[in-house]
Structure 1
Amino acid sequence: MTAYWVLASIGVLLALLIQGRVSPAILFTCWAVGFVLLGVTEQQALLSSFSNSALITLVVLMLVSLALERSPLLDHVSDALLKGRESMACLRLMGLTALLSAFLNNTAVVGSLLGVISRQRHIPASRLLIPLSYASILGGITTLVGTSTNLVVNSFVINAGLPPLGMFQFTLVGLPVALICIVGLLFSTRWLPKNRALDQDVPQSYFLEAQVMADSPLIGNSIEANQLRNLNGLFLLEIVRHDRLLSPVSPDEVLEPGDVLVFTGEVEKVQTLQRFAGLQLFGTQADRLLTSNLVEVVIANESELAKRTLREVDFRTLFNAGVVGIRRGKRRLTGQLGHISLRVGDSLLLAVGPDFTEQRNIDRNFHVLNGTLQRPKLQPRQSLFAFCGFAIVIALAATSLVPLLNGLLILLAALLVTRILTVSELRRRFPFELWLIIGSALTVAKALDSSGGAQVIADTVRSVCNGYGVYGAFIGVFIITLILTEVVTNNAAAALVFPIGLSTASAFGADPLPFIMAVAFGASACFIIPFGYQTHLMVYSPGRYRLVDYLKTGLPVSLLYSAGVIILVPIMFPF
């Protein structure tokens, strides 16, 4: 009976994950703690899950990647990559991205190239950003460290008492599949749109300007006293005074004759300003100043802004910037901006204060697309040290001379000693949410296994695939994982299906490795819907895409990917 109510609770968990209203970290943590409190699994299992060596390896790898993503290498090669014919430029970009993603965190690779591609004018960014995201996935499947999914699956493998996966064990299947899909992408990208960049939009479409006349009764009173803060649909963003820009505007700021008040929000609600005597609307005299401090950013997957509104987080105080416009994919969001629930991948057009770049929370929350406001790049010697150190760690781990975790810890210590990384940066960028999700997911997987729930599903899979044998069961596990990764997240899909795959292999008396690979490759097979994978969300708004753009481009890739995995895994890893 325990098995069935555990399965029912997992069904509820899956439904909530698909709904997307509650963070996966909160959901998995609640379920893990709940299973411990109800006695389905032991407290020690929960504690050991969070100290799993593969999970710690993933965390340290992501921290080391903070230094690698600041290397100027990508900026130097990007201009050469994107010259010439569009098809060849796209091929070069995908090749470089896949190569880098085989060893670096693919989120970091896409984040580093996102601004470079958005700023260049050789090729419309919308023709390159989806291929960039897909290539980062395809490169990631070729090695153990290429994607967090492979390391997450490895943590489940170790937790199950099986031998850990090797550095290049995925390469036997991943490399040929990646090459096939990249060739397929060259054909499917012809359906991508040619959208203008966000910064080519007319700035005045976001702004409403009003000048304080010399005889206005507003003069000499503060913004607060004049009741200019809580207007119906409009927000006072900044003040232009004698060719100076006051941004952000303090509620205590006293108005002077000739001040130009710049409003944003529902600019069509101009009638809201009619009740203020001595306020004259006019055209674009302040256009030069307004565009001089505009910065475009994309909300990062680690951001604390996700699923919250600007008003809830007190955006202006937090970042010393005002939000001028919000874009989600191809659509510019309208209405009262402060009440819009933000999502990962949203593009924000900001009017920033003079010390915006000094805010310590910028890199955690945003991918900054404006080149002048990027974080300081590493010096050439620092970049060489970081990359050579990482290459040595990977080589030692691949030859089994030094365990990967040991090598990464030594490298992290060296980066701290040389001040390439700082403790404060590690504190700000620590992947706490990912650590929480995976540690809790390991506990949920143990509960699913120990309660007999995984065995119930495995027996069902066996009965359904009775006429198709172990190969049919293998395909079934892969397809289940693929569907889940499209509608939830890759790591959540791996967590939910891994114990099922292991139990299915046991039910057929087969080697578990092909089923482990089915889960690993299936969990990375997110090509059709953008909401299940963080790199797709990162490029969604900068490319001004629609959902149909992912569908048209990704469906052929998904079919090629699935065919390659289904054919190659049983050949390379026999049952």
Structure 2
Amino acid sequence: MTAWLVLASVGILLAVLIHGRVPAAIAFTVLAGIYLLAGLIQASAYLASFSNSALATLVVLLLVSIALERSPILGQLSRLLIRPGSATRAVFRLSGASVLASAFVNNTAVVGAFLGMVTHQRRIAPSKLLIPLSYASILGGICTLVGTSTNLVVNSFAVNAGLPALAMFQFTWVGVPVALVCLVVLALSARLLPVRETDSKRDAHAYFVEALIAADSPMAGKTIEANGLRNLDGLFLVEILRGGRLISPVGPETVLEPEDQLLFTGEVQKLQTMRQFKGLHVFGAPASSLLASNLVEVVISNESELAGRTLREVDFRTMFDAGVVAIRRGERRLTGQLGRIPLRVGDSLLLATGPDFRQHRNLDRNFHILNGDGLRPHLGRWQNRLVTGGFALVIALSALNWLPLLQGMMVLLALLLASGVLSLSEIRRRFPFELVLIIGSALAMATVLETSGAAALIAGGIRYVFQDYGVMGAFVGVYLMTLALTELVTNNAAAALAFPIALSTARAFGVDPTAFVMVVAYGASAGFLMPFGYQTHLMVYSAGHYRMGDFVRVGLPVSIAYSVCVLLLVPLVFPF
């Protein structure tokens, strides 16, 4: 009975994660807490889940990566990759560099380093390059233990289950061939991506701007045509919200009233046109003053505290010394009150910045900048040598089994703090609390799944379904289950849910569990079809003006090639 109740609770968790309204950290923590209160796991085992050595390694590695993000190497490399020529060659060069960098550096840092340069160069349409950039960062991540947090998450589950820790280059034997095959497929399938940069209709409908007719505005009482709003160059009045009623389409004879909320769409370069209208406020500030400021285009990062909140809920100007001018979300048409729309990771914001904007310490946590200089200064020459050289040395010593990765990263982190490259306040701001809650809670849940017999029930079901196909059939089944999970929820959550099932399935067949462990890691990184399940996809979604179909069109061939290679190579490299 207990096993069935645990399975039901996991099913509810999965439904909550797919729904997306409740953050994964809260969902996992609450369920693990319920198991603790119900006596399904002892307090000592629960606390041990959060002190897992592999989880500690992941946390320290992410903190060291904060310094790696500031290295000028990626920025310098990005300027060399896009040269005049065919888009296919540019995709291959950029993707190859992203694979190499992502094998050792956090993939969000890699994509973030290339994002601004790719978006604002005019040699090749950014829409041809950004999805391949995101996919390549995934392919690089599967090549080493430190390439992606998902590999380290799986390693933490393996250690917690009493299995040997995964080695630094244990992923390489499968990861590199898979990455090479998928790079070729990606370069070919990228031809299917649209060239939206030269689409004038798209340019004219890039950002959405919410404006308010002030009570004393001279625009009130006049028609749209009389106010000169009908034929604005590069701007289009989409709709009017009046007292909770939506007026759309807007006719030239529509008379404006005080407190009317106008929704415009238009190009960044044309937004200055709105300064000429007296009594028109943009996101709570007069358009004449707001649009006189410097305009900075940013993308909301996966670590941002803005995600899931509306602009009405946050004191944006106090937080960042900037006002929001406009919002863009891919190619999706936004409607209604923009200030009440919950922001998402990957949304593009156009900000009118004040003089202290770049001095605010919370910028690097919340945004990826798309124009102008970076939000933070690059490392100096000696700092860059310390960070990159120290990181390479720790990786090498770990690969040679001369120094455990955790100890090496701890020493490097201490050096970065002592030298001033990192500060304690920076670490406090960027500490991955949510990831610790998710993984620690998931480790506790995995223990409950094992001890309650719930994992054995699922493994028995898999064995029953695939009994005619043997262990290979079950192996494929576990991979497909993990693949489906990672498209529906985040990659780390998918690994957390799939691992105990994969381990129990291997034990049910009486085989070495290594292949099943590895296929969970590879399967949890196979998020190529849905833009909302992987953080780097969200980063490029709005910047590339993509639609959902663009990811499916390019991602499906890559996903098929990836899956075939993984399912063929893993049993060869890690026999059952």
Q: TM-score range by the shorter chain?
A: 0.7 to 0.9
Q: Does 1:495 align with 2:496?
A: yes
Other-structure match for 1:564: 565
Deviation at 1:266, TM superposition (A): 12
1:265·1:334 contact (CA, 8 Å) conserved in 2? no
Q: Does 1:160 align with 2:161?
A: yes
Which residue identity lines up with residue 338 of structure 2 in the other structure?
Answer: L
Which residue identity lines up with residue 482 of structure 2 in the other structure?
Answer: T
Equivalent position to 1:264, from 282, 287, 294: 282
Distance 2:338 2:316 in 1: 11
Matches of residues 473-552 of structure 1 in structure 2 within 5 Å? 473-552=474-553
Aligned pair in 2 of structure 1 residues 411, 201: CA closer, same or farther (>3 Å)? farther
Other-structure match for 1:122: 123
Which residue identity lines up with residue 418 of structure 2 in the other structure?
Answer: V
Deviation at 1:43, TM superposition (A): 1.1
Other-structure match for 2:361: 360
1:212·1:260 contact (CA, 8 Å) conserved in 2? no
Matches of residues 81-160 of structure 1 in structure 2 within 5 Å? 81-85=81-85, 86-160=87-161
> What does the per-residue CA deviation read over 1:319-344, in whole Å, with 9 as the maximum and x for residues that have no partner?
22221111111135243221111111
Bigger shift: 167-176 or 105-114? 105-114
Aligned pair in 2 of structure 1 residues 212, 498: CA closer, same or farther (>3 Å)? closer
2:213·2:261 contact (CA, 8 Å) conserved in 1? no
Aligned pair in 2 of structure 1 residues 208, 155: CA closer, same or farther (>3 Å)? closer
Distance 2:20 2:83 in 1: 40
Unaligned runs of 5+ in 1: 217-229, 236-244, 246-257, 268-272, 274-283
Other-structure match for 1:80: 80
Matches of residues 223-238 of structure 1 in structure 2 within 5 Å? 231-233=259-261
1:234·1:265 contact (CA, 8 Å) conserved in 2? no
> What does the per-residue CA deviation read over 1:47-81, in whole Å, with 9 as the maximum and x for residues that have no partner?
11111111111111111011111111122122221
2:116·2:370 contact (CA, 8 Å) conserved in 1? yes
Deviation at 1:233, TM superposition (A): 2.4
Give the match's secondary structure for 1:342: coil
Deviation at 1:265, TM superposition (A): 5.9
4+ residue stretches of structure 1 with deviation over 4 A? 197-205, 207-216, 258-262
Give the match's secondary structure for 1:298: strand
Other-structure match for 1:3: 3
Aligned pair in 2 of structure 1 residues 323, 213: CA closer, same or farther (>3 Å)? closer
Distance 1:405 1:195 in 2: 45
> What does the per-residue CA deviation read over 1:99-123, in whole Å, with 9 as the maximum and x for residues that have no partner?
0100111111111211121122221
> What does the per-residue CA deviation read over 1:423-476, in whole Å, with 9 as the maximum and x for residues that have no partner?
111111111111111111111111111100000000111111110000000000
Which residue identity lines up with residue 233 of structure 1 in the other structure?
Answer: Q
Give the match's secondary structure for 1:313: coil
Aligned pair in 2 of structure 1 residues 261, 121: CA closer, same or farther (>3 Å)? farther
Which residue identity lines up with residue 119 of structure 1 in the other structure?
Answer: H
Distance 1:435 1:402 in 2: 24
Which residue identity lines up with residue 168 of structure 1 in the other structure?
Answer: F
Distance 2:171 2:206 in 1: 48
Distance 2:206 2:393 in 1: 48
Other-structure match for 1:308: 309
Distance 2:330 2:73 in 1: 29
Deviation at 1:215, TM superposition (A): 12
Matches of residues 257-406 of structure 1 in structure 2 within 5 Å? 263-264=281-282, 290=291, 293-406=294-407
Q: Does 1:24 align with 2:24?
A: yes
Which residue identity lines up with residue 192 of structure 2 in the other structure?
Answer: W
Deviation at 1:307, TM superposition (A): 1.0
Bigger shift: 312-321 or 538-547? 312-321
Give the match's secondary structure for 1:12: helix
Which residue identity lines up with residue 509 of structure 2 in the other structure?
Answer: F
Distance 1:548 1:211 in 2: 40
Number of paired residues? 524
1:17·1:24 contact (CA, 8 Å) conserved in 2? yes
2:210·2:262 contact (CA, 8 Å) conserved in 1? no
Aligned pair in 2 of structure 1 residues 202, 395: CA closer, same or farther (>3 Å)? same
Aligned pair in 2 of structure 1 residues 471, 131: CA closer, same or farther (>3 Å)? same
Which residue identity lines up with residue 8 of structure 2 in the other structure?
Answer: A
Distance 2:103 2:562 in 1: 17
1:210·1:260 contact (CA, 8 Å) conserved in 2? no
Which residue identity lines up with residue 351 of structure 2 in the other structure?
Answer: L
Aligned pair in 2 of structure 1 residues 354, 467: CA closer, same or farther (>3 Å)? same
Unaligned runs of 5+ in 2: 220-257, 264-271
Distance 1:59 1:114 in 2: 25
Distance 2:496 2:562 in 1: 21
TM-score (norm 2): 0.86
Q: Does 1:67 align with 2:80?
A: no
Aligned pair in 2 of structure 1 residues 355, 455: CA closer, same or farther (>3 Å)? same
Distance 2:383 2:42 in 1: 46
Deviation at 1:295, TM superposition (A): 0.9
2:215·2:259 contact (CA, 8 Å) conserved in 1? no
Bigger shift: 317-326 or 50-59? 317-326
1:266·1:334 contact (CA, 8 Å) conserved in 2? no
1:325·1:333 contact (CA, 8 Å) conserved in 2? no
Distance 2:66 2:364 in 1: 10
Q: Does 1:36 align with 2:54?
A: no
Give the match's secondary structure for 1:185: helix
Other-structure match for 1:426: 427
1:212·1:259 contact (CA, 8 Å) conserved in 2? no
Deviation at 1:261, TM superposition (A): 5.1
Give the match's secondary structure for 1:312: coil
Distance 1:446 1:165 in 2: 20
> What does the per-residue CA deviation read over 1:342-363, in whole Å, with 9 as the maximum and x for residues that have no partner?
1111111111222111111111
Distance 2:309 2:573 in 1: 46
Distance 1:95 1:196 in 2: 23
Identity score, percent: 60
Q: Does 1:445 align with 2:446?
A: yes
Distance 2:479 2:144 in 1: 19
2:57·2:405 contact (CA, 8 Å) conserved in 1? yes
Aligned pair in 2 of structure 1 residues 500, 265: CA closer, same or farther (>3 Å)? same
Aligned pair in 2 of structure 1 residues 30, 204: CA closer, same or farther (>3 Å)? closer
Other-structure match for 2:267: none
Distance 1:142 1:434 in 2: 22
TM-score (norm 1): 0.86
Deviation at 1:316, TM superposition (A): 2.4
Deviation at 1:213, TM superposition (A): 11
Distance 1:541 1:339 in 2: 19
> What does the per-residue CA deviation read over 1:218-245, in whole Å, with 9 as the maximum and x for residues that have no partner?
xxxxxxxxxxxx944269xxxxxxxxx9
Distance 2:375 2:431 in 1: 20
2:210·2:338 contact (CA, 8 Å) conserved in 1? no
1:455·1:503 contact (CA, 8 Å) conserved in 2? yes
Distance 1:394 1:347 in 2: 35
Aligned pair in 2 of structure 1 residues 157, 211: CA closer, same or farther (>3 Å)? closer
1:265·1:336 contact (CA, 8 Å) conserved in 2? no
Give the match's secondary structure for 2:57: helix
Which residue identity lines up with residue 148 of structure 2 in the other structure?
Answer: T
Distance 1:95 1:5 in 2: 47
Distance 1:59 1:377 in 2: 23
